[in-house]
Structure 1
Amino acid sequence: MKELQLTSTLYVYDDLNELSEEVQQLMLTAIETRKKAYAPYSKFRVGAALLLDNDEVVVGSNQENAAYPSGLCAERVAIFYAGAKFPDAIVKRIAISATSDTKVTIEPIPPCGACRQSIAEYEVKQGAPIEIYFMGETGKVIKSNSLKDLLPLIFDGSAL
């Protein structure tokens, strides 16, 4: 037997003011976008904003359905739309903000497993890491330099 140790490095900012102006603007776009979420069941609203290498910003908000598996998370809405609209563009960074209609979310809320897998697919496709910034409604922001810091053992097409 051999031991395998995995290490991830994440960066924690106390609030939006510690981010660069470009990242602040992207996060503010994610915050505005989460207000457009369709979340009548969970009351949990998420907004995502992606910056592409062509300087386009693509957004997504979670879209629920009474048949829960039929809905989509904000991150996947945004990244799939970016892939459909700008198939050759590279996703440079993603800003994600989540809030609840029933409680204050002050802790950073990372992407779910399905969204991590979708982001991993795009990192592999483009051959470049995607910076990921995530937060709750207010407070701290966490930055990951790559999806691999959030999902170190990714499943990709090389396994098929």
Structure 2
Amino acid sequence: MKKLEITATLTVFDSLDELPEEVRQLMIKAVSARKNAYAPYSKFRVGAALDLENGEIVVGSNQENAVYPSGLCAERVAIYQAGALYPAIKIKTMAISASSDAFNVLTPTPPCGACRQSIFEYEENQKTPIEIYFMGETGKVVKADAIKDLLPLTFGKATLNNI
């Protein structure tokens, strides 16, 4: 037996003001997108904005349904929209912001597991990392250089090809 140690390095910014201007503007779009979330059940609103290699910005917000598994997170709404509109264009950067109608979300909120897997699929297909910035309503912003910083043990094409 041997132990495997997994580490991740994340960058923490104290506020939006510390971000590079292009990323700050992208996060502002994510904040705006979260206001369009349809979240009557969880009251938890998430917005995502993607900066594509061709300069286009694609946004998404979470869309709930009374049958919970039928809803979709903001990150996947945005990433699938980018894949549908610009199938051959790489995603450079993703910005995510979360808020709640019931309480103040002051801690940076990363993508859920299903979204991490979806982001990994797009990273794997485009063969380049996607920078991921995430925050709550205000305050600190966390940056992951690639999805492997948030999902270190991946399941993808290589796993399926070995079966």
TM-score range normalised by the length of the shorter chain: over 0.9
Structure 2 counterpart SS, 1:98: strand
2:84 match? 84
Is structure 2 residue 111 aligned with structure 1 residue 119?
no
2:159 match? 159
How many pairs are equivalent? 160
CA RMSD of aligned residues (A): 0.5
Quote how far apart the aligned CAs of 1:2 are. 2.0
1:40 match? 40
**Mapping of 1:55-70 within 5 angstroms?**
55-70=55-70
Counterparts of 2:46 and 2:111, CA distance in 1: 10
Runs of 4+ in 1 over 6 A off after TM superposition: none
1:4 match? 4
Q: What are the superposed Cα offsets for residues 3-41 of structure 1, whole Å, 9 maximum, x if unpaired?
A: 211110000000000001000000000000000000000
Q: Mind listing any 5+ residue stretches in structure 1 that lack a counterpart? A: none
TM-score, normalised to structure 1, is: 0.99
Counterparts of 1:114 and 1:19, CA distance in 2: 27
Identity %: 66
TM-score, normalised to structure 2, is: 0.97
Q: What are the superposed Cα offsets for residues 87-118 of structure 1, whole Å, 9 maximum, x if unpaired?
A: 00000010000000000011000000000000
